[in-house]
Structures are given as structure tokens and as C-alpha cells.
């Protein structure tokens, strides 16, 4: 029996990797529905390739209704590969419905981690991380459960600006920032990776996914991106999960879970790996990382503000309207704003904070 799935955000980088796994393993999976936003040409090609799948653009006026209809189809799992806050309602709805959710959209958990996890618990939904570090942690923690894990480490490549400092870091060009040394990803997460904002988002993601206190979740620079995560046990020893940096590993693993995944990548033997290095994060340089950690620790609406300010600032950077270093400065300012008292225990309230923080950043970009 083929496992039937729906892919939200099919035209992006995670969408590409997912469809690559599907094409290789077409005896095991069937795509029954997908969405895209505005990559029309690519979407048309996918419609020709998967004519039986229900497909629509989320720019449609009735997109919310179409999403409901798509989720009404009988399916084994959904993959949420939408980028940014735009994914949160789909994640929440799939969680409410008790679906098996393969989650790439980390922003859902940053904005509304408490609500998503509560829905998952109430409905019996299953949440399987696709983000490589969290996929590795998920696997490591299952194996380590009996050994009392004390702390976890997420690895960060350090991005294209690891060896760029001072003014040059602040003024890094779009071309420099978009040239990631180890991963091929969509533009937003690639910018997030250059400032380690991505790692802050992932710390918050790990806090919710694995119910860990922030001091138990650390990050470490690992330029080769072969080790994705580590778990430190109560006796001080550490277990690591290692593979080539290729998103098809965590995606295939999640698609097959709880069955083991075949090797869809053709992994290298360990003697073909590069030398593996680890360094601490310079939090003075990677300011957005420190801000995100802090926002996570403050809880309430702060992670939602952090995420929204970052999305608006990254969009401004990609549009050529601000310098790279302004992203962290804008996030910092947005976290200091005194917002109205919206209800941060509801998704509606959190999205009000999201929208207020975006407006604050957009206004600041255009008034300076
Ligand atoms: P991407 O920009 O390549 O693709 C995003 C997808 O979302 C596209 O299909 C796009 O059409 C759709 N989309 C864009 N705006 C939308 C909107 N407003 N409403 C609905 N759909 C919209 O992004 P990506 O790199 O594939 O990343 C997707 C998600 O996965 C992000 O949350 C990212 O952080 C996470 N992630 C990505 C990688 C990676 O290797 N690319 C790794 C780990 C986690
Ligand atoms: Mg990651």
C-alpha cells in the first residue's frame, strides 16, 4: 500500500527534495495534493507530472477553504514546507485534525509552539521534525531515553560569513549572504543562516518539540555540517548523528517513519568525510542569535515578534533596502517596542503581534 501525502509549499527547496525522494521511491508513496504560492511555472510542470493530485495556489481568494478540502482527503501524512509565518495556520489545522505532520516550517513552532504542541497533545497528532538538526535529535533522543540526556547541541555551519568580521560582516552583500557553504536552501533561510538567526529559531523549535528548558539546548559552530546534533548524557559522554548535508536524509526518514528509510542519497563511507571541527558561537558578532535565544527565554509574544521582525527585515535586505547588519538591529528594536496587550495565548493574538512587529520594521526601513 502506498502512503498518501499532501505537500504544502511544493515549489520550494524542501518541496524539491521531497519530490526527489518521491520520484525515487514511487512504489512507496503517492502525492495526492500540493500547494504553491507564486511560482506558477514550476507549479504547472508539477501539475503535469502529478495529474491526479489536487493542487492550488495559496494566492487564491478561497485558499483557506481549499486547504480544508485538501485536508479532508484521506491521507497518511502532510508535509509543511511553506516558508515563514504563512505556514502557522496550516500547521495548527493539521494538528487539530490529529494528522501526522512532517514539519519543515519551523516558524510555526517559533510563533505558536505552545498552541501547536497543545493541539498535538489534544488530538493525538504526530509531529515529526524535518529540520535536519531536529530530525537528528528526534532519533538520538529515542536511543538515549534510558541514558538520561542532560543537554542537546544543535550544530550550525556558521554560514558564508563565518570568517567575515566587523564592517565587512555588517555590509555583506546579497550575493555573499546567499552563497551558503554547505546547504542549498530557499533564500529566506539562507539569509537566516548567515546571521545565525536560523539557529535561534531552531533553539526555540527544539524547546517546544522536545520539551527542553532553554539552558538544555545549546548550539555549536560546525563548518562541515556533517554532525547535525549531539546529545550529552548524564555521565558527560556525547552521542552524535552524522551524515552528508543533504535534506533528503531527514525528509526520507520522516516519510518512512516508523519504518526505517532506505538510503536515498548514496551515503559516503566515514573515511571519505572531511575533518570535523567544532567552535563556540561568537554572540557579539551573531547578535540575532543572542536576541532570538533571549526572546525564546522571555516567552509570551516575544518569539512571535522576533520571527516577524526577522521576516520583515530579511525581505527588506533581499529587496536591497537595508544592509545585512541592519537585520539584527531591527529585530532588537522590534523586541523593545511596547505593543498593545493582545492575547498571546491565542493564535489570533499572536498574529496581531506578528503584524505589529512587521509594520514597525517596515515603517523603520522606509523612514530611514
Ligand atoms: P522556499 O522559499 O524554497 O519555498 C517555500 C515554499 O513555500 C514555496 O513552495 C512557496 O511557493 C511557498 N510559499 C511562500 N510564501 C507562501 C505563502 N505566503 N503562503 C503559502 N505558501 C507560501 O523555502 P524552503 O527553503 O523550502 O523552506 C521551507 C521551510 O522549511 C522554511 O520554514 C525553512 O525554514 C524550513 N527548512 C528548510 C530547509 C532547506 O534546506 N531548505 C532546511 C530546514 C528547514
Ligand atoms: Mg536546520
Q: What confidence tens digit (pLDDT) does each residue in 195-237 have?
A: 999 999 999 999 999 999 999 999 999 999 999 999 999 899 9
Q: Which ligand neighbours the alpha carbon of 248 most closely? A: 1
Taking the centre of ligand 1 as the mean of its atom positions, its distance from the CA of residue 104, in whole angstroms, is: 8
Torsion over CA: 192, 198, 199, 200 (sign): positive
pLDDT digits (tens, 9 = 90+) for 278-327: 999 999 999 999 999 999 999 999 999 999 999 999 999 999 999 999 99
State the cell numbers at 9. 509549499
If you average pLDDT over residues 40-61, what whole number do you get? Answer: 98
Minimum CA distance residue for ligand 1 atom 43? 131
CB 110 within 8 A of CB 298: no
Classify 219 as helix, strand or coil: strand
Buried b (16+ CB within 10 A) or exposed e, 124-138: ebebbbbbbbbbbbb
pTM over 0.85: yes
State the cell numbers at 326. 541592519
The pLDDT score that the predictor gives to residue 26 is: 98
**148, pLDDT greater than 90:** no
Query: Between 33 and 367, where is the model more confident?
Result: 33
If you average pLDDT over residues 26-34, what whole number do you get? Answer: 98
pLDDT digits (tens, 9 = 90+) for 86-126: 999 999 999 999 999 999 999 999 999 999 999 999 999 99
The confidence band for 24, taking pLDDT boundaries of 50, 70 and 90, is very high
**131, pLDDT greater than 90:** yes
State the cell numbers at 204. 526555540
If you average pLDDT over residues 125-148, what whole number do you get? Answer: 92
The confidence band for 159, taking pLDDT boundaries of 50, 70 and 90, is very high
How many other C-beta atoms are found inside a 10 Å radius of the C-beta of residue 141?
17
**334, pLDDT greater than 80:** yes
The confidence band for 150, taking pLDDT boundaries of 50, 70 and 90, is confident
Taking the centre of ligand 1 as the mean of its atom positions, its distance from the CA of residue 97, in whole angstroms, is: 22
Q: Probe ligand 1: pick from 7, 33, 55, 83, max atoms within 8 Å of CB?
A: 83
The confidence band for 267, taking pLDDT boundaries of 50, 70 and 90, is confident
CB 220 within 8 A of CB 155: yes
**186, pLDDT greater than 90:** yes
Query: Any residues with Cβ below 6 Å from ligand 1, and which?
Result: 9-15, 36-37, 39, 58, 81-83, 86, 104-107, 131, 183, 185-186, 188-189, 247
State which H helix or E strand residue 6 sits in: strand 3-8
One DSSP character per residue, 7-52 reads: EESTTSHHHHHHHHHHHHTTTTEEEEEEEESS-HHHHHHHHHHSTT
What is the separation of C-alpha 154 from the centre of its chain, rounded to a whole number of angstroms? 13
If you average pLDDT over residues 72-92, what whole number do you get? Answer: 98
Task: Look over the chain and give the mean of its residue pLDDT values, rounded to a whole number.
Answer: 97
**368, pLDDT greater than 80:** no
CA distance 107 to 311: 10
The pLDDT score that the predictor gives to residue 149 is: 82
How many other C-beta atoms are found inside a 10 Å radius of the C-beta of residue 325?
18
Which of 147-151, 234-238, 344-348 has the lowest average pLDDT? 147-151
How many other C-beta atoms are found inside a 10 Å radius of the C-beta of residue 173?
12
Amino acid at each position: 500500500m502506498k502512503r498518501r501525502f499532501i505537500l504544502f509549499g511544493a515549489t520550494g527547496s524542501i518541496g524539491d527534495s521531497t519530490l526527489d525522494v518521491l520520484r525515487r521511491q514511487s512504489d512507496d508513496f503517492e502525492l495526492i495534493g500540493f500547494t504553491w504560492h507564486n511560482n506558477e511555472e514550476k507549479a504547472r510542470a508539477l501539475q503535469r507530472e502529478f495529474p491526479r493530485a489536487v493542487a492550488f495556489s495559496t494566492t487564491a481568494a478561497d485558499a483557506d477553504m481549499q486547504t480544508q478540502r485538501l485536508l479532508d482527503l484521506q491521507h497518511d501524512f502532510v508535509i509543511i514546507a511553506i516558508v515563514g509565518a504563512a505556514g502557522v495556520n496550516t500547521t495548527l489545522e493539521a494538528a487539530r485534525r490529529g494528522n501526522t505532520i512532517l514539519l519543515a516550517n519551523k516558524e510555526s513552532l517559533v510563533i505558536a509552539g505552545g498552541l501547536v504542541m497543545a493541539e498535538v497533545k489534544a488530538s493525538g497528532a504526530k509531529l515529526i521534525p524535518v529540520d535536519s538538526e531536529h530530525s537528528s535529535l528526534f532519533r538520538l533522543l529515542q536511543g538515549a531515553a534510558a541514558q538520561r540526556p542532560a543537554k542537546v547541541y544543535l550544530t550550525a555551519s556558521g554560514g558564508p560569513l563565518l570568517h567575515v568580521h566587523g564592517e565587512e560582516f555588517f555590509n555583506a552583500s546579497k550575493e555573499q549572504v546567499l552563497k551558503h557553504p554547505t546547504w542549498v536552501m530557499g533564500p529566506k533561510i539562507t539569509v537566516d543562516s548567515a546571521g545565525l538567526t536560523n539557529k535561534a529559531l531552531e533553539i526555540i523549535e527544539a524547546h517546544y518539540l522536545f520539551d527542553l528548558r532553554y539552558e538544555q539546548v545549546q548550539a555549536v559552530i560546525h563548518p562541515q555540517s556533517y554532525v547535525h546534533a549531539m546529545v550529552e548524557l548524564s555521565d558527560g559522554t556525547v552521542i552524535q548523528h552524522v551524515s552528508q548535508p543533504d535534506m533528503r536524509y531527514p525528509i526520507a526518514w520522516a516519510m518512512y517513519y516508523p519504518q526505517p528509510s532506505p538510503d536515498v542519497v548514496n551515503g559516503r563511507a566515514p573515511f571519505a568525510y572531511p575533518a570535523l571541527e567544532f567552535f563556540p558561537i561568537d554572540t557579539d558578532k551573531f547578535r540575532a542569535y543572542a536576541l532570538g535565544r533571549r526572546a525564546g527565554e522571555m516567552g509570551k509574544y516575544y518569539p512571535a515578534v522576533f520571527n516577524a521582525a526577522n521576516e520583515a527585515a530579511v525581505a527588506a535586505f533581499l529587496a536591497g533596502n537595508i544592509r545585512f547588519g541592519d537585520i539584527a538591529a531591527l529585530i532588537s528594536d522590534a523586541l523593545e517596542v511596547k505593543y498593545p496587550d493582545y492575547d498571546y495565548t491565542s493564535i489570533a493574538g499572536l498574529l496581531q503581534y506578528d503584524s505589529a512587529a512587521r509594520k514597525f520594521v517596515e515603517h523603520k526601513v522606509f523612514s530611514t
